[in-house]
Amino acid sequence: MKRIIALLLCLLLAALSFASLAESDLPFPFDLPEPTPAPDAADGESIRLELNGEMVDLKFDDSPEYSSVEAGLIQASFFAYAADGVTLYELFLIFPETVQPGMIITPEYSALVNVESSVVLIQSDDVDEIYYFASIMDGGTYPTGSDFSISIDAVEESGDSVTYSGTLTAHLVALDMATGDARATLDIEGAAFRFSLGSTSQEPRHSNPMPSPTPEDMRRT
């Protein structure tokens, strides 16, 4: 289920009324890794974002539970802890497997070709989670006012793996799960990313994953 967390989130929000959506119904993260240092600049498998006034290097997670190619869609997951060692950021990029260098994936493009594309950023700590996202539904952006642009600079095949690089610009909106009102917004401007999918994938970072209903259960020591 974690492979398509971003898609599931968007579908849940569209299909269920906010008044009846319980916190335990959401696909919260679980068994999250211990704080990790910034990714090695040599491999470049990362994306750098400014989050809450802090520049954060989110490392690409190549475990198949988080990053995968499925049903013609690529899902790339990046994650990192903030300097406080408590706040966790997880970014998911979802776009068509058929992308080529020079393509720019936007809500308008996704609606035109009728292919799902989304950007989701999850900010979590010991007591709360905030889901920021921008997706395409019924030919328009969801949530209202959100937007994204995933520019593909290069697609390089090497053996059984494929490396994707490009830049992300997005205006993400977080919704109040009780009311459906906008809770917060987050802007990403020209953030360069790079990641590889294929034979280099490692073992999942969670063994026998089970969803957790509360933030306290998300973090194991």
Tens digits of pLDDT across the chain (221 residues): 343 455 455 545 444 334 333 333 433 333 333 433 444 433 579 999 999 899 999 999 999 889 999 888 999 999 999 999 999 999 999 999 999 999 999 999 998 888 889 999 999 999 889 999 999 888 889 999 999 999 999 999 988 899 999 999 999 999 887 888 899 999 999 999 999 998 434 333 333 333 333 333 333 22
Q: What is the CA radius of gyration of the chain?
A: 16
Report whether the peptide linkage leading into residue 213 is cis, meaning its omega lies within 30 degrees of zero: no
pTM score, two decimals?
0.75
139 vs 151: CA distance, rounded Å: 20
Secondary-structure percent of the chain, ordered helix, strand, coil, rounded to 5:
15, 45, 40
Query: In a 10 Å sphere around its CB, with 0-12 CB exposed, 13-18 middle and 19+ buried, how is residue 37 labelled?
Result: exposed
* Residue 159: per-residue pLDDT: 84
* Residue 37: per-residue pLDDT: 43
In 3D, which of 73, 72, 48 has the Cα closest to residue 60?
48
* Residue 180: per-residue pLDDT: 82
Helix (H, G, I), strand (E, B) or coil at 153: strand
